A and B are shown apart, each in its own frame.
Chain A
Amino acid sequence: MAEAFLLIAAATGATLLLTVSAALIGIVLGAPLVLLAQSRSAILRGIYTVFVHVVRGVPALVWLFIAFFGLAELGIVLPALASAVLTLGIIAIATMAEIYRGGLAAIRQGQYEAGWALSLGRWSLAKDIIFPQLFRAVSPTTATYIVGLLKDSALASIIGVPEIVYVTGLEVQSLGHGLELFLFAGLIYLALSIPLGVVSRVIHVRLTRRYAVL
């Protein structure tokens, strides 16, 4: 039993790896995607809307199976871990783009106008005025979403990625004690998400204490 707990705890690394990689993919690649939503071209905006609705309208498990079983059928054989990162990463891109879109919508028109009236260049307007406010507007939502990704990463167990839930399942299969072991697995998730929540709350409070809330 003690050994099972240790093995499960050790699998936390894989869970964090999945979570962090997917989060980074989403945070980085969601930014160019949201530019599509801001485009003047109705076609580009349409592509954005369809992409976001399709990616988020289908359960992650379906994408995971497509990435793991489906692509293999087409001759693209990905390891389970890569399939899981790819799947969670693409969903994270769509979700982060939506979070960015919401953050941009929260920035008042007057901020752009003040920048234009001061003759600020496009780059300066983006870098000095919009981005810092966007960052503050999206960080709480992003933190919440990363906690969501942490839980979504459990999906990877279904295709055999040795993260927390997969290892727990193996141990339960050989030892029994399903209740204790799955509760222990659950406690790890709680233990991981509580600090993230606290950190995001502290950041949020610190930012809002000083700056006007958007």
Chain B
Amino acid sequence: MSSFLPTTPAPLSWLWDWYQWIPTLLPGLGTALLLTLVSVGVGYPLGFGLALLTETRSALARWFAIVVVEVGRGLPILVLLLLVYRGLPSVGILFDAFLSASVALVWSSAAYSAEIIRTGLGAVPRGQFDAAYALSMNRTDMYRLIVLPQALRVSIPPLVNLGITMFHATSLATVITVEEIMHIANLEGSIYFRYMSVFMAAAVIYLAITVPVSLYADRLAKRLGGVMTVRKTVLRRPAGSVPVSAES
């Protein structure tokens, strides 16, 4: 890598030579994606379970779910990471860095997704339940065939966005020495004193993943929202209409 670089780079060289760091950072991207996959793949099903628990009749289960969700949403992810990695060892629970990061991110992702799924379930109109009961459906069928498909329409776009948030959050795992993108970037940056260039490369890698996914989420929201989507005209006027100021 050093052979590419002049010993004293031009002050703005980071604007064009950042791409040279991409191969170095790619293994970090792999780790970040793996962590994202774990936090989504394990976190969302747990979130679904927590969402159902918050609706149960058992007060104990309900309070358990509420505490797990509120702590997961209320603490900074950084604190969750440090709690697992540096806090649990003091009671004899030792996870390695990757496992600690997985536990903290799964917790966070489960908590946020629980809230999203609960909102989605709440958005299904009361009349849909009534209609299902009136048709003598059993509860399982009612949820599986009537309630969930409608709840998911509401929940999927925010769940995709939460996935992006979790991908971003993997960068925090650098503080507990997980070798994701920022960990490698920081290390390389300090070795060559080429921080600007290497962080640019990191930014480009993050953008390359998040921008397509968030554009997809926007489109998905529009499609699933159907007639519910908001009109685009805002301060812009409708075609042809004339704004006229009466200020004289």
Binding site for B on A (CB under 8 A): 35, 37-38, 40, 53-54, 57-62, 65-66, 69-70, 72-74, 101-102, 104-107, 109, 112-113, 116, 119-124, 130, 151-155, 157-158, 165, 168-169, 172, 176-183, 185-186, 189-190, 193-194
Contacts and interface: CB of A to CB of B under 8 A. Distances in A.
Given A66-B199, A178-B89, A61 B172 contact: yes
Contacts of B242: 116
A186 B71 contact: yes
Interface residues of chain B: helix, strand, loop or mixed (majority): helix
Interface in B157-210: 168-169, 171-172, 174-175, 182, 185-186, 189, 193-196, 199-200, 202-203, 206-207, 210
B199 A70 contact: yes
Chain B CB within 10 Å — which of A60, A65, A112, A158 has the most? A65
B247 interface: yes
A30 B126 CA distance: 39
A153 B77 CA distance: 11
Most buried by A among B194, B202, B214, B232: B202
B234 A105 contact: yes
B87 interface: yes
Contact of A112 (B75, B78, B237): B237
A142 to B, nearest CB: 18
Contacts of A65: 182, 185-186, 189, 195, 199
Contact of B182 (A53, A62, A120): A62
Given A66-B196, A112-B237, 7 more contacts: A53-B211, A62-B171, A62-B199, A69-B186, A179-B88, A193-B74, A194-B74
Contacts, number: 164
Nearest to A67: B199
Interface of B: 11, 14, 70-71, 74-80, 82-83, 86-91, 168-169, 171-172, 174-175, 182, 185-186, 189, 193-196, 199-200, 202-203, 206-207, 210-211, 214, 230-238, 241-247
A53 B68 CA distance: 32
Contacts of B202: 62
A156 to B, nearest CB: 10
A94 B245 CA distance: 30
B244 A116 contact: yes
Contacts of A106: 230
B189 A69 contact: yes
Contact of B90 (A105, A120, A179): A179
Contacts of A122: 243, 245, 247
B172 to A, nearest CB: 6
11 contacts: A38-B236, A40-B236, A62-B185, A62-B206, A69-B195, A73-B196, A122-B243, A124-B246, A151-B75, A176-B90, A189-B79
